[in-house]
């Protein structure tokens, strides 16, 4: 498969990219930080299967241009994994409007931009798969995450509607809903306190890789992945 992953420079996105390269897929990776994209681990055998495309998904024009570059490079975009995300761990009253806007622009509008960029290719090919990384914050209340939870709830609603709109076009749409995963999105104090209870990014990547091996006539609509001991 030809797979495009946004937010691939670290955490879950990076782990997914590395796992899918090992599974012999062609993988395009995007993130705002080109230097971090350069450290994605790939052995020599798979170096030609990796394509780095620096991108800020908050811009639709840049996202659309990235989709064109990837389609030209690989011949098609079979799978889009919308994984780019940012957050601020603050009460709503302390979250500035600029911070709120940034979170919405990346986490929600960034998904819209990716979807709008790849759908024409997928509709033309009568196949494709859009996978949106969401969060258990859509199902459970976590204080100090109001803007993040709102953005992810929007993505879940968008995902559910999109799935019904494109079923008859041969396109799959899946929500991946991870619980606490040990990445540098968390403040250091939280990672030190709860790190042993958290999942690893590689755990989520393994689930995604397994899901991509399912039969063509199966639609995996939503997968929730939590640590064995539950939410923090």
Contacts of 210 (CB under 8 A, 6+ apart): none
- Say how far apart CA 150 and CA 7 lie, in whole Å: 19
Query: What pLDDT, on a 0 to 100 scale, did the predictor assign at position 44?
Result: 56
Q: What is the mean pLDDT of residues 162-179?
A: 97
The lowest-confidence range among 35-39, 95-99, 115-119, 161-165 is 35-39
Residue 188 has pLDDT above 70, yes or no: yes
User: pLDDT band for position 232 (50/70/90)?
Assistant: confident
Beta bridge partners of 145: 90
User: Residue 187 burial by CB count (10 A; 0-12/13-18/19+): exposed, middle or buried?
Assistant: exposed
Query: What pLDDT, on a 0 to 100 scale, did the predictor assign at position 206?
Result: 97
Q: Which CATH class is domain 2-225?
A: alpha beta
For the chain, the domains span: 2-225
148 annotated active-site: yes
Please give the mean pLDDT across all residues of the chain. 94
Torsion sign, CA atoms 82, 88, 94, 98? negative
162 to each of 105, 132, 165, how far by Cα in Å?
19, 11, 5
- Say how far apart CA 230 and CA 227 lie, in whole Å: 5
Cβ 140 vs Cβ 187: under 8 Å:
no
User: Residue 90 burial by CB count (10 A; 0-12/13-18/19+): exposed, middle or buried?
Assistant: middle
Flag whether the pTM goes above 0.75: yes
94 to each of 11, 135, 146, 172, how far by Cα in Å?
26, 22, 10, 39
């Amino acid at each position: 498969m030809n797979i495009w992953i946004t937010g691939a420079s670290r955490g879950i996105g990076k782990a997914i990219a590395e796992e899918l390269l090992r599974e012999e897929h062609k993988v395009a990776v995007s993130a705002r930080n080109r230097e971090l994209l350069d450290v994605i681990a790939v052995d020599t055998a798979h170096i030609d299967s990796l394509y780095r495309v620096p991108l800020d998904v908050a811009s639709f024009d840049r996202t659309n241009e990235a989709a064109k570059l990837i389609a030209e490079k690989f011949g098609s975009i079979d799978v889009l994994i919308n994984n780019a995300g940012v957050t601020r761990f603050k009460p709503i009253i302390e979250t500035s409007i600029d911070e709120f806007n940034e979170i919405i622009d990346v986490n929600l509008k960034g998904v819209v931009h990716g979807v709008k960029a790849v759908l024409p290719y997928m509709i033309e090919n009568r196949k494709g798969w859009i996978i949106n990384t969401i969060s258990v914050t859509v199902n459970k209340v976590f204080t100090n995450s109001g803007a993040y939870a709102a953005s992810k709830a929007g993505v879940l609603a968008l995902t559910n509607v999109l799935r019904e709109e494109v079923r008859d076009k041969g396109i799959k749409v899946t929500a991946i809903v991870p619980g606490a995963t040990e990445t540098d999105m968390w403040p250091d104090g939280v990672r030190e306190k709860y790190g042993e209870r958290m999942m690893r990014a590689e755990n989520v990547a393994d689930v995604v890789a397994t899901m991509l091996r399912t039969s063509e006539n199966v639609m995996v609509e939503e997968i929730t992945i939590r640590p064995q001991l539950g939410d923090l």
